[in-house]
Each structure stands twice: as structure tokens, then as C-alpha cells.
Structure 1
Amino acid sequence: MTDNINPSHYKDGPFECIELSRLLSSDWGQAVQYCFRWQHKNGVEDLKKALWFINDALNHNVPPIAAWNREDACASEAKADTLLKILATENWADLGRFWLELEHGTAWTVRLALAEKINEIEKEGK
């Protein structure tokens, strides 16, 4: 039976996608969800949607981590870093550099990593 509410492309990774996306602000969480599933749903179109959300976050100065207070922010950032390290190490969804930049880089290097991946895929004709 197919689960249209929480489909397998969000659950089949090294952890369930929502474990990471719930720690992030809306734009960044959306970008992560599109990147997490891109190979199993809409292909490069999903990566372009993720890039749209990253651009929106950059244009509106939206930080990656969502938190009510500084203490929550520190805890969320530590957990997000752990999950991103797992994704980068496993090169999840063939986006190792994207996950690594999201863990250690700046918003702009995250954007660049994703834009370069999109260009690479389009050159290969996937």
C-alpha cells in the first residue's frame, strides 16, 4: 500500500528526512526535502525547486536553523550538523558536497554547490 502522506522517498535514507527538516527554517527545510528526494520523484526539477528556496532564503536573510531561543538554536544546530555529516559521508542522493556545505559552509557556498550539481546533471542529460 502506498503512503501518500509520508512516502518512502522521505523515509528510505539513512534517517527520515523530517528529522533534519524540522530543525531548519522553512526555506531551508523545503530545500532539504527537495534534495533528499530528487532522485526518486521529479529529478533535476526538484533540485531547481530546492535552489529556488535557497535563493529565497538568501534574498530575505533567512538563517538555516529555526529556534525559539539561543539554547534551542545551539541544540538544533548540533543535531543538524550530526545529520548533515551522515548525509555528506554517505553522499546521500549524490549530493555529498551540498550536504557538506550545508554543514560547514556559508549559505552562498551551499547555493553554489547545488547550482553546480544542477549544471553537471543537465550536461550529462539526466
Structure 2
Amino acid sequence: MTDNINPSHYKDGPFECIELSRLLSSNWGQAVQYCFRWQHKNGVEDLKKALWFINDAIDHNVPAIAAWSVEDAFTRDVKAARLLEILETENWADLGRFWRELQHGTAWTVRLALAEKINEIEKEGK
């Protein structure tokens, strides 16, 4: 039976996508969800949607981590880093560089990693 509320493309990874996206601000969480599922749902269109959310976050100075306090930010950052390391190590969804940049880079390097992946996929005609 198909679960339209929490479909398998969010649960079939090394962990459930919500574990990471709930640690992030809305824009960054949406980008992660689109990247997490792109191969199992809408293909490169999902990566382009993720890029839209990243661009919007950059344009509006939206931080990746959503937190209520300094302590909460630290806790969320540590948890997010652990999950992103898993995604990078597994090259989840063939986006290893994207996950690495999201963990260690800047918003601009994350954007660049995703834009370059989109270009690569479109050149290959996937």
C-alpha cells in the first residue's frame, strides 16, 4: 500500500529525511527534501526546486539552522553535521559534494555544488 503522507522516497535513505530537515530553517529544509528524493520522484526538476529554495535563502539571509537559542543552535548544528556526514559518505542521491558543502561550506558553495550537479545531469540527458 502506498503512503502518500510519508512516502518511501523520504524513508528509504540511510535515515528518514525528516530527521535532518526538522533541524533546518524552512528554505534549507525544503532544499534538503527535494535533494533527498530527486532520483525517486521528479528528477532534475526537484533539484531545480531545491536550488530555488537555496537562492531564496541566500537572497533573504536565511540561516541553515533554525534555533531558538545559542544552545539549541549548537545542538542542532551537531546533529545536522552528523547526518550530513552520513549522506556525504554514502554519496546519497549522487549528491556527495552537495552534502559536504552543506556541512562545511557556505551558502554560496552549496548553491554552486547543486547548480553544477544540475548542469552535469542536463548535459548527460538524464
Question: What is the TM-score with the length of structure 1 in the denominator?
Answer: 1.00
Deviation for aligned residue 1:37: 0.1
1:1-126 correspondence runs (5 A): 1-126=1-126
**Unpaired runs of at least 5, structure 1:** none
Deviation for aligned residue 1:70: 0.6
Deviation for aligned residue 1:93: 0.1
Deviation for aligned residue 1:35: 0.0
Deviation for aligned residue 1:67: 0.5
Instruction: State the Cα RMSD in Å.
Output: 0.2
Moved over 4 A (4+): none
Give the share of equivalent positions with the same residue, in percent: 87
After superposition, what is the alpha-carbon deviation per residue over 1:3-41, rounded to whole angstroms, capped at 9, x for unaligned?
000000000000000000000000000000000000000
After superposition, what is the alpha-carbon deviation per residue over 1:37-77, rounded to whole angstroms, capped at 9, x for unaligned?
00000000000000000000000000000011110000000
Q: How many residues end up aligned between the 2 structures?
A: 126
Question: What is the TM-score with the length of structure 2 in the denominator?
Answer: 1.00
CA separation in 1, counterparts of 2:51 and 2:17? 18
CA separation in 1, counterparts of 2:73 and 2:103? 14
CA separation in 2, counterparts of 1:67 and 1:8? 28
CA separation in 2, counterparts of 1:33 and 1:56? 16
